[in-house]
Structure 1
């Protein structure tokens, strides 16, 4: 599939998803799960409204949990963390901030909570922009290793 949301919500109504997209999505998920494979859905934007459907249909993991679209990893973990692996939710804007404490706060508050009980995989909430230097990215990964190792 493709992106199902944008910053303020879904690209279409839940009814449209149920009628037009969900039958195919369900078939794909069931096929791959039947092969013993996990199924990861990449969808940018705010897709919170569809998560119960994703879980019901057997999705394994949702990614990238776009912060700018209101996909709060802490709330998602509280609401769905026992039913769905979550991947992402680390704001790329924090990576690009010249103050290293900004990304440290982002990671130190989110990852320890999200990893509780398992079911969290580190990932940025979007493509890492060119404004993130190699040193900033390296620092981010060092923080992930510090706060995120199970």
Structure 2
């Protein structure tokens, strides 16, 4: 099987020659791996490590994406299409850089009238979708992921997290108004995106971060009231185009998983299995027939601070639990591998899955 066949068969819970694996890492880590392995192109890196890489063409329509091309109103430096601004933050003794929010575009606009008078929401016609088909065709043997919709994430970026969460309780009409505007953009953007791809997109994200390290960020009731209808609408759009729905949701989200499955997600990521309620064997038993799991390899302790044998032990554990029936699992780090991670641990991850995951 080639990588695309392997990824899609796992999502469809069909027979496999081996459990597939994916890669998420910061650009610094990718560059470190290329240097360590003596390769120049990322595709050569995936082949060298035996990675069934899901090719993500449009990581997010928050920053100005490479494809589709942004052709809308001019933006200032370090500003996204929502007029949220970012500043670089160096971490890990200079090994890495993250762009953190330094300006929330709606932080000072507390009424619907103020938003309508002072803010312009993005429009789908701010983008040129004409290159999407060509971009997809560049990777004929890989599963293509393109599209990203995240209502709560964008709302928090626009308002600031504290204001956003308070709005859901004390400023509900305002929250509904802004979230509706966000999701109207997501719908029109993705409708044009999928039409332009002409059936070449395999996976798209309808996602959000509803979890914390211990429980949910919002209650199930708040989810139902503010986000469930939008996720349902966006998931239906993805499925109407025959595309698989990838749902990324950090944290301890066990209480929401049945709702997400009811809405129609196909892939659940990142599976932070050390958190409450996220035991892999229980997830597989309760939800393994409904969804494919993606991720699992711990990126908070094992990868950055463990030894290669710890990584090998964890990979085997995940193969025995989330991959227990030989399908419905794509092994990957539970989030972007960070530059504090020893290269030996990353290599051990992929050597282990490629040695032991053959079926």
Q: Check whether TM > 0.5.
A: yes
The equivalent residue for 2:281 is 74
**Bigger helix fraction:** 1
Aligned residues of 1:67 and 1:125 also touching (Cα < 8 A): no
Within a 5 Å distance, the mapping from 1:1-150 to structure 2 comes to 1=150, 2-70=208-276, 71-92=278-299, 93-115=301-323, 116-150=325-359
Give the CA deviation at 1:69: 2.9
Q: Deviations over 1:82-101 (max 9, x none)?
A: 11111111112222345322
Q: Deviations over 1:32-86 (max 9, x none)?
A: 0111000001111111111111111111111011234332222211110011111
SS at 1:122 equivalent? strand
Distance in 2 of aligned mates of 1:31 and 1:105: 40
Q: Name the stretch that deviates more: 126-135 or 17-26.
A: 126-135
Give the CA deviation at 1:134: 1.9
**Bigger strand fraction:** 2
Distance in 2 of aligned mates of 1:117 and 1:111: 8
Give the CA deviation at 1:144: 1.4
Give the CA deviation at 1:126: 2.4
Distance in 1 of aligned mates of 2:358 and 2:237: 32
Distance in 2 of aligned mates of 1:103 and 1:139: 7
Distance in 1 of aligned mates of 2:271 and 2:354: 20
Q: Name the stretch that deviates more: 124-133 or 1-10.
A: 124-133
RMSD of aligned residue pairs (Cα, Å)? 1.6
Give the CA deviation at 1:117: 4.4
What is the TM-score normalised by the length of structure 2? Answer: 0.40
SS at 1:9 equivalent? coil
Aligned residues of 1:66 and 1:126 also touching (Cα < 8 A): no
SS at 2:296 equivalent? coil
Give the CA deviation at 1:109: 1.5
SS at 2:268 equivalent? strand
Distance in 2 of aligned mates of 1:25 and 1:90: 27
Query: Where in structure 1 do 4 or more consecutive aligned residues deviate above 4 Å?
Result: none
Unaligned runs of 5+ in 2: 1-149, 151-207
Give the CA deviation at 1:131: 2.1
Greater CA radius of gyration, 1 or 2?
A: 2
